Amino acid sequence: MINLSKVIHIALIGAGTVGSGVLEVLEKNGEDISKKIGISLNVKKVLETNATIIAGLQGKYAIAQDLEEIINDPEIQIVVELIGREEPAHTFIRKILASKKHVVTANKDVIAKYGEELFAIAEENQVALMFEASVGGGIPIIRPLKQCLAANKITKVMGIVNGTTNYMLTKMTEEKLDFPVVLKEAQDQGYAESDPTADVGGFDAGRKIAILASIAFNTRFGLDQVSIEGIETIGSRDIEYAAEFGYVVKLLAIAEACEKGINLRVHPTFLSKTHPLSNVGNVFNAIFVSGDAVGDVMFYGRGAGKTPTASAVCADIMDIAKNIVLENKSFMTCGCYDHKPVCSVDEMQFPFYIRLLVADRPGALSAISAAFGSQQVSLRSVLQKRQVNGNAELVVVTHKVQENNLRMAIQTLEVMPIVSEICNVIRVEDDDFEE
């Protein structure tokens, strides 16, 4: 029943980029939003510490002095946390849920690390904790996994979930530039932070895949269970060779069901050009999900930014508001009823790309092949195209082999006098490879 004279009051904590986007979307589309949910929404208070942002909000929104002012306001039913990072966001969310107010957050750090604790508090207090914007920004992925794909046994979730690194790899590919040059450019343009570790080191993607895997496999996973490699070691040569073999280099976040449990990993990957994720360029994100009933589905869009992220946050607010109107207390809950073990990446099987520098003399190639062979690593293709500092640059693509065996082969190669450098080892994602 639509009653637009009735109002649900909201508080916003953090009115930076995404927070201001939420205010913008609620202002611009407020009338339609109210009609869709059957009640009006009002941002009653905003909590912000930045003086410049506060000055811009004065006269339009009431500024809260502290969290207590929001918690102690009985009219406020939904609190939107958009301050980011772990603290004080985690403590704030805990207190807000305990005060029986619903929470909407975009905070992947908090959800990945404290999800279990916070969902328990939400359930205990019969309030919602919604986090659609925490992975993939404006791309719908949390709700589709929890609801639309709920009837499936999910076998694999594979995504490009970090826009910064996808932008950098795209630039490196298109303009044949090396990592340090592109990083500097990305920092100058504001795409990469001055401390880029979370993005380029793969940790941001690691948190996001931990969140997605927790939903997809109904088991709570954290960042410490994700095997993580960043893109720092990728050179323009690797990208050139990738193209030659029919691949693009992408930082993929993968959660995959295997014999002994679930493997979670983030790493640069040689991805087949025929895979739909290979066309996801620049700052765009995409998540490719495989389910036993649905087959493959892909979600694509803007993974960050002011209004794309606000789009997801506002949808969560609307969902909660609708449930309040309908007096529906069955909010989306944690759903981690299972305890699937984590399967180490050492036990997984992949094809690998290896670039190495070896002495260019008779017998070198057969010695290299023998070293791989001694660890049951079978080679699919070998390419020798150029000389680097008097050495031959050798590029090897293996058949699908157990990671542990590959690592042992690399250790053997590292101490061989004819090998001067193992330049890079990158996993290949290509359905054409047989075991």
Q: Closest distance between ligand HSE and the C-beta of residue 114, in Å?
A: 17
Residues 184-203, interacting with ligand HSE (CB under 6 A): 199
The three-class DSSP label of residue 47 is strand
Q: Report whether 24 contacts 61 (CB < 8 A).
A: no
- Using the rule CB under 6 A, is 107 a contact of ligand HSE? no
The residue among 186 and 242 lying less far from ligand HSE, judged by its C-beta, is: 186
- Using the rule CB under 6 A, is 162 a contact of ligand HSE? yes
- Using the rule CB under 6 A, is 164 a contact of ligand HSE? yes
Distance CA 427, CA 51 (A): 47
**Size, binding site for ligand HSE by CB under 6 A:** 7
Distance CA 191, CA 194 (A): 10
- Using the rule CB under 6 A, is 19 a contact of ligand HSE? no
The residue among 222 and 291 lying less far from ligand HSE, judged by its C-beta, is: 222
* Per annotation, catalytic residue among 208, 329, 340, 385: 208
Q: What is the DSSP string of 342-405?
A: BPPGGG-EE-EEEEEEEE-STTHHHHHHHHHHHTT--EEEEEEEEEETTEEEEEEEE-SEEHHH
- Using the rule CB under 6 A, is 159 a contact of ligand HSE? no
Distance CA 327, CA 310 (A): 25
- Using the rule CB under 6 A, is 163 a contact of ligand HSE? yes
Tell which one of 204, 238, 316, 393 touches ligand HSE (CB under 6 A): 204
The contact pattern for ligand HSE, residues 290-319, with x = CB under 6 A and - = no contact, is: -------------xx---------------
Phi, psi of 241 (to 5 degrees): -65, -40
Report strand pairing: 419-429 vs 261-272.
Answer: parallel
Q: 282: exposed, middle or buried (C-beta count within 10 Å: 0-12, 13-18, 19+)?
A: middle
Q: Closest distance between ligand HSE and the C-beta of residue 372, in Å?
A: 36
The residue among 207 and 220 lying less far from ligand HSE, judged by its C-beta, is: 207
Based on the residue annotation, tell me whether 208 is a catalytic residue of this protein: yes
Distance CA 296, CA 292 (A): 9
Contact range with ligand HSE by CB under 6 A, out of 35-43, 85-93, 156-164, 229-237? 156-164
- Using the rule CB under 6 A, is 132 a contact of ligand HSE? no
Phi, psi of 136 (to 5 degrees): 75, 15
Q: Closest distance between ligand HSE and the C-beta of residue 215, in Å?
A: 17
Q: Closest distance between ligand HSE and the C-beta of residue 22, in Å?
A: 15
How many other C-beta atoms lie within 10 A of the C-beta of residue 178?
Answer: 13
Active site residues: 208
* Contact residues for ligand HSE, defined by CB under 6 A: 162-164, 199, 204, 303-304
